[in-house]
Amino acid sequence: MKTSHIYKLLVLSASIATLTSCTDLVNDEKDSVVNEVVEGGFAPVNVPEALSSAYKDLSTYSDQAGIYALGEHTTAEMIPPTRGVDWGDNGVWRTLDAHTWDASHSYILSAWNALNQRAYKATEIIASNPTPVQKAEAQFLRAYNMYWVLDYWGVVPVREVTQGVNDLPKVLTRSEAFDYILKDLEEALPNLPKSGPSVTNGTATKAAANFLLAKLYLNKSVYKSTTPGGPYTFDKADMDKVVAYVDAITADGYALEKDYFSTFSSAAKTEPILLVLEGTAQNRWFMTLHYGQNPSGWNGFSTLADFYDTFESKDSRIGAPAKKDGTQYSGIGLGFLIGQQYDDKGAPVIDVRTQKPLSFTRDVPLAGAATDKGIRVIKYHPANSGKYILMRYAEAYLMKAEAQFRGGNAGGALTQVNSLRTTRGASTLGSLTEQNLFDEIGRELYWEGGKRTTEVRFGKFTTGEGTAVKEAYTTLYPIPSAALVSNANLVQNPGY
C-alpha cells in the first residue's frame, strides 16, 4: 500500500530498529490503511475501512516496548533486569529504569511515531465525510492518541489534511493540546453510542469518552503547568468534573468486579470499558515468565520487593497460588509469583541453565541478574486471558476518589477507597492521606501501563529506586532527534 508524502512528514520514516529480546506481537504497519495524497488536494479515505484499521492499531498499546515501556519501566513498580546476555538490547531497558534516556532512544522514537501516526489517521477519517457517529469515533481515537503524546512529551504536532506536502505540522503547546483534545471529546460525546460493560467493548462509547475526560481533568494541573515536575495545584471545579464524568460511567452499568483477577479474564462482567480486540494479551505473560515454565516466557520483567510489600497478605490483588491440577497452564499462579515454581502437575520447575529448582527471589539487580531473580507478575492468565484492557472501571473509580480527596471531600474519598479495599479483601483505612491514596492506586492498577502518569501527578516520578537522574525535567521525555530534524517547528524539551 502506498504511503502519502504528508504522512511521511508527520510520522517519521527514520528506519531505527527497535531492539527487543523477543518477537514483537503487535500489528504490522502494513495492515494499516494509509491514504494516498494527490497533488493539489486531499483524497478522502474509505471511512469504514479506515475506522476498522484505526481500532486494530490500538494493539500497539499492548506491546511490551514503546508506549507501554515508557509508562511502566520508568516507574518504581517494574524493573527490566539484564540476565546474562538476555535483555541487554544495547541498554534500552536499563536507561528507562535509570532515567538516563536521551533523544536517540529507540522506544521514545517508536512511541512518538506510532501515536502521531494514529492521530493523523483519525484526522483523515474526520475529513472524509463520515456519519456523525463515525466522526465521533474518529474524534475519540484522535483524542486518545494525542492524549498520550501530550502526557509523554508536553507538545503535540498537528497536521491538517489541507496542508501541502512541504508544509510542516504546527506544534501545540501543552495547554493548547489540552484544549484541542478536550474539544474533540466534548464534540464526540453526544454522538457516541451508549454501552455497558462487556468483553467485546473494542470501539468508542460514551463510557470511554467519559473515562478519558475524567483522566484529562484529573491531570489538568499537570498539563496546564509551565513548570515540569510541579508542584501542582488542583482546582476544585476540575475535580468536580472528574467526579461527574465517573458518575456517568457508573450510571451506564459499570461496577467493580468482585473477583479481582476475573477482570483480566474472558469472564469479566462489570469492568471492561475499552479493550484491544485485535490479538491477545500474551505479551503480558511472555514478558515475565521463565523459560522453563508452561507457557515458556522470555524471562524478563519483575516487580520490586518494596512495591510488593505495600500489599497485605489477605489482599486478593496480591494473587493466588497455582492450581497444579494437571490442566494446561495450571502451574502458573496469579498476581505475584514468588518462591518455588511448579509445573502443571505440581512438580518443581527446574531452571535449565542452573539445573536447580526454580524459585523466584525478592531481590533483583538491574544488571547481571541470575535467571531466578525477581518477583514475577501475572494479571492476564494464559488459561483464561481476556483481551488487553485499555480502560476499566476500577481506574475510573479511583479517579473519582482522588478527585474527591483533592477537591476537599476527604470523607467521601475515604469511603470510596475503603469500599474498594473491602471488595478486594483488604482491611479498611482509618484515614486517607496522599501517600496511602497513591499506594492504593498502585495496588489496584499495577503493571497496567499508567504508573508514570500517576507518579508525575503525585510528585514521585524522580524519587524511585534506581533513578540516576532525579531532575524535574525528566517528567517529560525528549522530542526524538529524528523528529526535530524533520519538523523545524519542534523545539527540544528543556534539559535534553
pLDDT in tens, 33-57: 445 455 557 899 999 999 999 999 9
Contacts of 53 (CB under 8 A, 6+ apart): 31, 32, 33, 121
Q: Is a pLDDT exceeding 70 seen at residue 14?
A: no
As a whole number of angstroms, the distance between CA 335 and CA 329 comes to: 15
| 3-state percent breakdown (helix, strand, coil) of the chain, nearest 5 | 40, 10, 50
Q: Is a pLDDT exceeding 90 seen at residue 261?
A: yes
Helix (H) or strand (E) holding 172, with range, is strand 170-172
Q: Which residue has the cell 486478593?
A: 316
Q: What is the DSSP string of 207-267?
A: HHHHHHHHHHHHTHHHHT-SSTT------HHHHHHHHHHHHHHHHTT----SSGGGGGBTT
Q: How big is the chain, counted in residues? A: 496
DSSP secondary structure letter of residue 158:
E
pLDDT at residue 17, as a whole number: 36
Q: Is a pLDDT exceeding 70 seen at residue 22?
A: no
How many other CB atoms sit within 10 Å of the CB of residue 144?
28
As a whole number of angstroms, the distance between CA 218 and CA 201 comes to: 24
Q: Which residue has the cell 460493560?
A: 197
Tell me which of 27-36, 281-290, 384-393 is least confident: 27-36
Summarised one tens digit per residue, pLDDT across range 59-90 is 999 999 999 999 999 999 999 999 988 999 99
pLDDT at residue 85, as a whole number: 86
**Stronger pLDDT, 229 or 157, i.e. the higher one:** 157
> What cell numbers appear for 7 in the block?
504522512
How many other CB atoms sit within 10 Å of the CB of residue 109?
22
User: HSE (CB half, 13 Å, CA atoms) of 141?
Assistant: 34
pLDDT at residue 9, as a whole number: 44
pLDDT at residue 109, as a whole number: 98
Helix (H) or strand (E) holding 98, with range, is helix 92-98
Provide the 3-class DSSP secondary structure of residue 161.
Answer: coil
Summarised one tens digit per residue, pLDDT across range 278-302 is 999 999 999 999 999 999 999 999 9
As a whole number of angstroms, the distance between CA 313 and CA 333 comes to: 15
Helix (H) or strand (E) holding 170, with range, is strand 170-172
Residue type at 440?
E
Q: Determine the average pLDDT of the residues in 219-242.
A: 95
Q: Determine the average pLDDT of the residues in 261-281.
A: 97
Q: Do 336 and 319 touch, CB atoms closer than 8 A?
A: yes
User: What percent of the chain is predicted at pLDDT more than 70?
Assistant: 92
User: Domains in the chain and their CATH numbers?
Assistant: 5-16+30-192+475-486 (1.25.40.390)
> What cell numbers appear for 231 in the block?
508542584
> What cell numbers appear for 159 in the block?
497536521
Burial of 127 (0-12, 13-18, 19+ CB in 10 A): middle
Torsion 382-92-358-297 (CA) sign: positive
Q: Which residue has the cell 504536532?
A: 157
As a whole number of angstroms, the distance between CA 484 and CA 225 comes to: 23
Q: Determine the average pLDDT of the residues in 212-235.
A: 95
pLDDT class of 465 with cuts at 50, 70, 90: confident
Selection from 147, 165, 164 nearest residue 111 by Cα: 147
- Strand-pairing partners, residue 275, are 389
pLDDT class of 448 with cuts at 50, 70, 90: very high
> What cell numbers appear for 118 in the block?
494514529
As a whole number of angstroms, the distance between CA 186 and CA 204 comes to: 13
As a whole number of angstroms, the distance between CA 26 and CA 13 comes to: 19
The three-state (H, E, C) secondary structure of 340-409, written as one string = ECECCCCCECECCCCCCECEECCCCCCCCCCCCCCEEEECCCCCCECCEEEEEHHHHHHHHHHHHHHCCC
Q: Determine the average pLDDT of the residues in 16-40.
A: 42
Selection from 210, 198, 307, 304 nearest residue 250 by Cα: 210
pTM: 0.93
As a whole number of angstroms, the distance between CA 218 and CA 228 comes to: 17
pLDDT at residue 39, as a whole number: 52
Q: Is a pLDDT exceeding 90 seen at residue 263?
A: yes
Summarised one tens digit per residue, pLDDT across range 153-197 is 999 999 999 887 788 999 999 999 999 999 999 999 999 999 999
Q: Is a pLDDT exceeding 60 seen at residue 3?
A: no
Question: Could you tell me where the beta strands, DSSP code E, fall in 257-347?
Answer: 272-276, 319-320, 334-337, 339-340
Q: Is a pLDDT exceeding 50 seen at residue 4?
A: no
pLDDT at residue 10, as a whole number: 47
Contacts of 164 (CB under 8 A, 6+ apart): none
